[in-house]
């Protein structure tokens, strides 16, 4: 079942003539966490986060490509953003996430109107990609996915109601199921260290006031096998449960 789409703002708006960014997040809760990371970094780098595409200078679409309907939704959303650009309503369109990672060469060829592409690991690059896109450079370099999804307790800009947040504990998967494309997009299982997750959980509770943490990953039952040589989901949950 497809997760609900989120077109929410998140980071505090910067002042002055900073470029306005509208982000559309498609797909699963793991993608939503990535979108929060993108908005957090963009807000910290001085971009204005705006509520509607018409207010923005650049539209960022964080895509999904897990199943056929998600691919169609992602492509349709990109085409709608491109149409706004053609009408002069926005200056640039940047496409990020799973659709890019899975179909990068096809997208480069079929969507020349898109001004920049970001893969599934673009947390440290998103602000630079947007700046380059707005300068007309059309960046299309995708880095290999890092060993872990992201480090530490990074700045996230909320896209969920105030009472809950998603905590992404891993990416990728050790399985090779013939029906699932995730390992080809996200790679093998890549767990985040327990201490980093505890730090981020405390930050979400203390800074955002969340009362409920929803633990997400492609295969949460295998969490920790790549780092600790054994599944550690029970240990992680026990540690999380001790946070007030």
Domains in the chain, ordered, with CATH? Answer: 20-134 (3.40.50.12160), 164-241 (3.30.750.210)
Q: Percentage of the chain with pLDDT > 90?
A: 75
pTM of the model: 0.89
Secondary structure of residue 120 in the 3-state scheme:
coil
Tell me the per-residue pLDDT of 196-219, one tens digit each, with 9 for 90 and over. Answer: 999 999 999 999 999 999 999 999
- As to burial, measured by CB atoms within 10 angstroms (0-12 exposed, 13-18 middle, 19+ buried), residue 44 is middle
- The pLDDT value recorded for residue 115 is 96
Tell me the per-residue pLDDT of 88-140, one tens digit each, with 9 for 90 and over. Answer: 999 999 999 999 999 988 999 999 999 999 988 888 889 999 999 999 998 88
Q: What is the DSSP letter of 6?
A: B
Whether 93 and 59 have beta carbons less than 8 Å apart is answered as yes
Q: How far apart are CA 180 and CA 83, in angstroms?
A: 32
Assigned token pair, 206: 């203390």
Residue 182 above 60 pLDDT?
yes
- The pLDDT value recorded for residue 16 is 52
Q: How far apart are CA 160 and CA 6, in angstroms?
A: 9
């Amino acid at each position: 079942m497809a997760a609900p789409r989120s077109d929410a703002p998140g980071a505090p708006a910067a002042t002055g003539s900073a470029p306005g960014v509208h982000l559309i997040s498609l797909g699963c809760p793991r993608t939503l966490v990535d979108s929060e990371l993108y908005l957090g970094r963009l807000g910290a780098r001085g971009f204005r986060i705006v509520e509607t595409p018409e207010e923005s200078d650049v539209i960022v679409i964080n895509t999904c490509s897990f199943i056929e309907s998600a691919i169609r939704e992602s492509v349709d959303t990109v085409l709608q953003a491109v149409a706004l650009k053609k009408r002069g309503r926005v200056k640039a369109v940047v496409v990020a996430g799973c659709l890019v990672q899975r179909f990068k060469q096809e997208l480069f060829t079929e969507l020349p109107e898109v001004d920049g592409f970001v893969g599934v690991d673009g947390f440290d690059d998103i602000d630079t990609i947007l700046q380059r896109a707005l300068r007309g450079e059309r960046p299309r370099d995708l880095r290999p996915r890092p060993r872990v999804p992201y480090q530490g307790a990074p700045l996230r800009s909320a896209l969920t109601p105030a009472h809950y947040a998603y905590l992404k504990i891993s990416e990728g998967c050790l399985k090779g199921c013939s029906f699932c494309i995730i390992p080809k997009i996200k790679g093998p299982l890549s767990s985040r260290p327990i201490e980093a997750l505890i730090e981020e959980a405390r930050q979400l509770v203390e800074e955002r006031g969340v009362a409920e943490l929803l633990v997400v990953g492609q295969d949460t039952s295998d969490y920790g096998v790549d780092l600790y040589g054994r599944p550690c989901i029970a240990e992680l949950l026990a540690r999380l449960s001790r946070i007030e």
